Chain A
């Protein structure tokens, strides 16, 4: 473990030496280009006379794209601002107004953008210290809000707050997503009467949502176009899953951090040939790496699982940090269990049903017993040595099962875990010294376990 900090360094407050850098995939550059193009297109939407919808949670973008409506996905906006070190401004505005920092940081950042959009007068900008050049203030104000959040009640309340931030003048459509709890033993992952009932309820609301959209655009909805968009989305999702499964190889040719960097095409980018091409490129590069024996980290001594939402402020930094530990973060719940994770059920002749099934089985919407079973399957498939449990402090929906996950993988697979707190887009919750000490302890436990096996 060349990167482990010595006690002397710790006393002196020295930074852990990052001796190695992660071996990034070239295809990721294409992702970044598409992401930049998407945001620039959104920033121009009002000038070009397009309607703008703000939404959070599930991937409603194909439904909006088919109606020629531009969209801002709240978490994506917050993550963008965090990745570009611009999330502090909207968060500060929210704190000025009295919003507690223990509130979902995605919501605080996104509503903060709403506040900035509301503050178009010079007087308001002076009061709130708004810099009109910031990314947050460039996001166009919504013409409509569609709320559809699985499991997390905070998501609905976030949209409700947006609605009020814009003076209740922007029409809102609330979709209620029922949680498949499993009152009956017949309730299984993606099957059983309870699941089908919840899917049917969601599908009906999606149909009503389309009527809401038609009411705003004044045009009949283009169902053929939705099928066409979903054709690309489905194919992109299939390619992504195939490419991820290839990372069973040793060394793993790509890491969880690379898959985090590839969320946009299956989360909020427009569905089209570009996203399919992207995952074809990515898969081809992965196959090439496997053929050449090239790993995602220079030395792969440990294969790890990341449980929790990504800390968007620190993707590249964490990627290198773990490379420094000779550890490859092979897979994770956020990337490998979500974002059109079940593309095979999408019937392009009637895509809403399959879309609803995917929405309802995202990793915060399935209950803990099913989450645990899925994680164990993944850990066995990818031959994981240990788990990183990133407790995103202001995302309780994602964090709550982590003690149970730790207990289950410990008992059933004998895997050690490292738990620490952080956050999605509020970097003040991340304490690197705590992370280092817990990760190092876990890696030492893996070493000790391996020594006993010899």
Chain B
């Protein structure tokens, strides 16, 4: 078991070394994608390795001369990676998501390194228009045609269907792990779960699936009730991973993270692509539109779904006793959504704590004090309820 988890951790911690080694070993191309909703099955179907460009923990250096400091850590990090020549191993970069900061970073990348092939195919962000599905299908067909031209390959429907099947299996296996954690059958830490999901974003999916199967088979399951620790749901970080140290810190303060909606977490695996839909591009577009029902994304425009209501339900379903919101500094969609989350949790008397994270560092001891107080408060409330009962 440890060997498998170590492999996930290595790929998650040194994603680009893993990709470079894979390219060298297999002689394949690697195509970078930017978060959040890119259908990587399409790249997989070309035979290339899809790689989600990750925020790196390194300090921003030359990239600071290309972008204002009031942009989010992810976008400043990827610009810095380009200006520091760290992404040259990618054969192209593709992205589909409408986020002003992501678009800005991509434009900076294009000008800073004109030799980089970086293409944009804009998926409609407004999900409930009569033309949302049609528009998404059109965009994805253009993306396929563009990839065929850039990579010099032909993408067949059969290849797309196979890729969808492989990705669905990957999502299902990770969801199985989530379910076992929710019920207390397994005791994986949140940082280990992050390694599992993050490694899936940069590893070959078939290889990742094989490792997941091996891991699940090796895990010792328990039927004992969950420990006395405070169960927490973690929300936020919509497009990149929170530092694992923060997740460890929360769990070192007497809490157990039992579920999340993080991008490098459940959000990434929430929605399968319906293999029963005949046209695989229509299937991928449909999954994009429907994903918001499973885990709402505040970067999408969806009048029918309220993230705060969904969160209240999600916290209740997993048996968590509180919510920790990890809010990335300068993330405007999260800034818009957070006051409603705060109000909903206060209205329903469900404890919640917001922690703002920054690329350039978080005062960990301050966070520790906040989390310790938060956990103690929940324990006191729990004890008071037990006495009252």
Contacts and interface: CB of A to CB of B under 8 A. Distances in A.
B98 interface: yes
A437 interface: no
Interface string A144-156: 0001000111101
B292 to A, nearest CB: 12
A179 interface: yes
Contacts of B108: 368, 400-401, 403-404
A401 B125 contact: no
Interface in A382-413: 391, 393-394, 396-397, 399-404
Residue in A103, A152, A157, A161 whose Cβ sees the most chain B Cβ within 10 Å: A157
Interface in B66-112: 66-68, 70-71, 98-101, 103-104, 106-108, 110-112
A400 B68 contact: yes
Interface stretch (A3-11, A92-100, A440-448): A92-100
B332 A391 contact: no
A160 B120 contact: no
A368 B336 contact: no
Contacts of B120: 179, 181, 183
Contacts of A399: 68, 70
Interface residues of B, number: 44
A368 B71 contact: no
A399 B100 CA distance: 11
B327 to A, nearest CB: 8
Contacts of A154: 100, 332-333
A103 B332 contact: yes
Residue in A99, A153, A179 whose Cβ sees the most chain B Cβ within 10 Å: A153
Contacts of A129: none
Contact of B146 (A99, A183, A400): A183
A393 B70 contact: yes
A176 B126 contact: yes
A97 B339 CA distance: 6
B124 A397 contact: no
A54 to B, nearest CB: 15
Nearest to A102: B330
A51 B79 CA distance: 46
Size range of the interface on A?
35 or more
A157 B330 contact: no
A151 B103 contact: yes
Contact of A403 (B65, B131, B340): B65
Contact of A156 (B68, B119, B301, B339): B301
Given A164-B340, A183-B119, A368-B110, A403 B301 contact: no
Contact of B126 (A158, A174, A179, A396): A174
Contacts of B66: 403-404
Contact of B98 (A104, A153, A400, A403): A153
Contact of A153 (B68, B71, B111, B333): B333
A163 interface: yes
A178 interface: yes
Contact of A172 (B67, B303, B329, B342): B303
B71 A160 contact: no
Contacts of A168: 303
Contacts of A98: 338-339, 342-343
B298 interface: yes
B281 to A, nearest CB: 18
A176 B335 contact: no
Contacts of B168: none
A192 interface: no
Nearest to A181: B120
A187 to B, nearest CB: 11
B103 to A, nearest CB: 6
A176 B100 contact: no
A367 interface: yes
A107 B71 CA distance: 17
Residue in B108, B126, B343 whose Cβ sees the most chain A Cβ within 10 Å: B126
Contacts of B67: 400, 403
Contacts of B183: none
Interface string B294-311: 000011010100000000
Contacts of B122: 178-179, 181
B135 interface: yes
Interface of A: 97-100, 102-104, 107, 147, 151-154, 156-158, 160-161, 163-164, 168, 172, 174, 176, 178-179, 181, 183, 201, 205, 367-369, 372, 391, 393-394, 396-397, 399-404, 421
18 contacts: A102-B70, A102-B332, A156-B126, A157-B301, A160-B301, A163-B303, A174-B126, A368-B110, A396-B332, A399-B70, A400-B67, A401-B104, A401-B107, A403-B67, A403-B108, A404-B66, A404-B107, A421-B70
Given A164-B340, A181-B119, 11 more contacts: A103-B332, A107-B336, A154-B333, A156-B98, A157-B301, A168-B303, A179-B98, A181-B120, A403-B65, A403-B68, A404-B107
| A-B pairs with lowest CB-CB distance, top 9 | A400-B104, A98-B339, A181-B120, A174-B126, A368-B107, A103-B335, A100-B335, A183-B119, A153-B100
